[in-house]
């Protein structure tokens, strides 16, 4: 067995470990993995994937923006930031009836997970009570539930869990060294603190990042190392490709080499062998062949539905056809 595969098989333990232990994935080790010949990296990732999952299953997760735009944060990639003129209008939080209809449509279309996103820096107490109602509504349909609402205060995560929330999504987004180039209104540590609260409440963690923002390979390795060294690492890891939105500071960013995106998926799979690795934003611009490589690299989840939060996503018919053409099928991949 190769060194990397052996580490992967022996080092993952879902239980918490004391913070003082050495990091399982030094950033140098992760960067060395990125540097492997492409076919070698994909082979290793595919091996890890097969050891841990049925490789034919792909999760379909549908997003709904329940509160759009007007966000006080200045995340340089985001069309919902009030700092940039992107043409996205701010809305109020949706009512349960509207969310129920959307969740029902998602279930009918084959989704098994429903993720509600709100463009808040941090929800207030009264927002949390309202979102808890939305969670109960979605849960009543038998869907897995996920929410992404920004930073949480003490007690918020417990209220959401008690309402039936399965996952909380909160991304680290980049390596700590690159974070300040993209966001100035909050600190990396703020994100880590919210992730601690989510874990502390017994929720499952959905945490990933964005690539294609002008970061270096070292930064991409730094992001993956941060995620993989969380103890335990997230159950769900969305890897987003930057969607370049007019009006944001990253609108004119040079495109990333698509193979570098595939490498990022592969390295996420190897370092977080039992996580659902989600091929997230940016699929509309990616093409079928690159997506096929991402599945080969160990992606086993996608965002499914015609829209992400405010930007487009492949239509559902095209996605079901792609899965069919690749001999994949929709389902809920569970680690062996
Ligand atoms: N406001 C909350 C927060 O930031 O945690 C939740 C919503 S926010 C839109 C969720 C995630 O969407 C971000 O962390 C980022 O990873 C992703 N995202 C936002 N805009 C994006 C873009 N233009 N391209 C790719 N991913 C994007
Ligand atoms: C995640 O990592 N990506 C999703 C979800 N979690 C909330 C959001 C992608 C947003 C892409 C830009 C938009 O549609 O506004
Ligand atoms: Fe706000 Fe989230 Fe967009 Fe940042 S990513 S501007 S926090 S909605």
Chain segment 239-274, per-residue pLDDT in tens: 999 999 999 999 999 999 999 999 999 999 999 999
The closest of 223, 250, 231 to 74, measured between CA atoms, is 250
Q: Give me 202's structure tokens.
A: 């017994």
Cα–Cα distance measured from residue 76 to residue 318, given in angstroms and rounded to the nearest whole number:
30
The whole-number pLDDT of residue 99 equals 98
The whole-number pLDDT of residue 17 equals 46
Strands 276-279, 301-303: pairing kind: parallel
In testing the pocket of ligand 1, which one of 171, 207, 213 has its CB within 8 Å of the most ligand atoms?
171
pLDDT per residue over 103-131, tens digit each? 999 999 999 999 999 999 999 999 999 99
- In angstroms, rounded to a whole number, what is the distance separating the alpha carbons of residues 159 and 134? 12
The confidence score (pLDDT) of residue 78 equals 98
User: Given this model, what pLDDT does residue 23 score?
Assistant: 77
Residue carrying the six token digits 């969380």: 230
CB 269 within 8 A of CB 236: no
Cα–Cα distance measured from residue 26 to residue 48, given in angstroms and rounded to the nearest whole number: 19
Query: Using an 8 Å Cβ cutoff, are 58 and 277 in contact?
Result: no
Name the CA radius of gyration of the chain, rounded.
19
Burial class (CB in 10 A: 0-12, 13-18, 19+), 254: exposed
Kindly list the protein residues whose Cβ atom lies closer than 6 A to any atom of ligand 2: 63, 79, 115, 117, 148, 169, 171, 208, 238, 240, 243, 280-281, 308-311
CA distance 34 to 65: 34
Distance between Cα 99 and ligand 2 center (Å)? 18
Pull the structure tokens for residue 56.
């034919």
What pLDDT is stored for residue 49 in this prediction?
A: 98
Residue 101 near residue 66, CB atoms below 8 Å: no
Q: What is the pLDDT along the chain (336 residues), one digit of tens a residue?
A: 344 444 443 344 444 444 556 679 999 999 999 999 999 999 999 999 999 999 999 999 999 999 999 999 999 999 999 999 999 999 999 999 999 999 999 999 999 999 999 999 999 999 999 999 999 999 999 999 999 999 999 999 999 999 999 999 999 999 999 999 999 999 999 999 999 999 999 999 999 999 999 999 999 999 999 999 999 999 999 999 999 999 999 999 999 999 999 999 999 999 999 999 999 999 999 999 999 999 999 999 999 999 999 999 999 999 999 999 999 999 999 999
Rounded Cα gap, residues 262 and 1, in angstroms: 23
Closest by CA position to 311, among listed 247, 221, 215: 247
Pocket test for ligand 3, best of 83, 91, 119 (most atoms within 8 A of CB): 119
Rounded Cα distance, 263 and 188, in Å: 24
- Which residues contact ligand 3 via a Cβ below 6 A? 71, 73, 75, 78, 80-81, 119, 150
For residue 173 and ligand 1, the question of a CB distance below 6 A is answered with: yes
The pTM assigned to this predicted structure is 0.94
For 139, phi and psi rounded to 5 degrees?
A: -60, -30
Contact predicate 276/301, CB 8 Å: yes
- DSSP-assigned letters across all residues of 266-323: HHHHHHSTTSEEEE-TTGGGT-HHHHHHHHHTT--EEE-SSBSSSSB---HHHHHHHH
Cβ proximity of 225 and 26 under 8 Å: yes
Atom of ligand 3 nearest to the CA of 119: 8
Taking the C-alpha atoms of residue 221 and residue 32, their distance in angstroms, rounded to an integer, is 9
State which ligand 2 atom lies nearest to the alpha carbon of 313: 14
Q: Residues with catalytic annotation?
A: 71, 75, 78, 115, 146, 206, 278
Question: Residue 111 gets which letter from DSSP?
Answer: -
């Amino acid at each position: 067995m190769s060194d990397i595969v052996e580490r992967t098989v022996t080092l993952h333990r879902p239980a918490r470990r004391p913070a003082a232990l050495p990091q399982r994935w030094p950033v140098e080790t992760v960067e060395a993995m990125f540097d492997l010949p492409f076919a070698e990296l994909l082979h290793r990732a595919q091996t890890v994937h097969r050891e841990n999952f049925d490789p034919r299953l792909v999760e379909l997760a549908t997003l709904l923006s329940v509160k759009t735009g007007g966000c006080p944060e200045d995340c340089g990639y985001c069309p919902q930031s009030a700092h940039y003129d992107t043409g996205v209008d701010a809305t109020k939080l949706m009512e349960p009836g509207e969310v129920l209809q959307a969740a029902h449509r998602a279930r009918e279309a084959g989704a098994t997970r429903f993720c509600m996103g709100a463009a808040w820096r941090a929800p207030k107490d009264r927002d949390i009570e309202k979102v808890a109602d939305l969670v109960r509504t979605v849960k009543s349909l038998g869907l897995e539930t996920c929410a992404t609402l920004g930073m949480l205060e003490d007690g918020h995560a417990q209220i959401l869990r008690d309402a039936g929330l399965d996952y909380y999504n909160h991304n680290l987004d980049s390596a700590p060294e690159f974070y300040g180039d993209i966001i100035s209104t909050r600190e990396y540590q703020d994100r880590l603190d919210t992730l601690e609260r989510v874990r502390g409440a017994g929720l499952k963690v959905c945490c990933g990042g964005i690539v294609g923002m002008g970061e270096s390979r070292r930064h991409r390795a730094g992001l993956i190392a941060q995620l993989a060294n969380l103890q335990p690492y997230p159950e769900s890891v969305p890897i987003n490709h930057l969607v370049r939105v007019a009006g944001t500071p990253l609108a004119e960013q040079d495109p990333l080499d698509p193979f570098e995106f595939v490498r990022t998926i592969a390295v996420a799979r190897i370092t977080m062998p039992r996580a659902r690795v989600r091929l997230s934003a940016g699929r509309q611009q990616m093409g079928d062949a690159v997506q096929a490589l991402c599945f080969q690299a160990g992606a086993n989840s996608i965002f499914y539905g015609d829209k992400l939060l405010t930007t487009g996503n492949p239509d559902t018919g095209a996605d079901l056809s792609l899965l069919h053409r690749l001999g994949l099928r929709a389902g809920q991949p569970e680690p062996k």
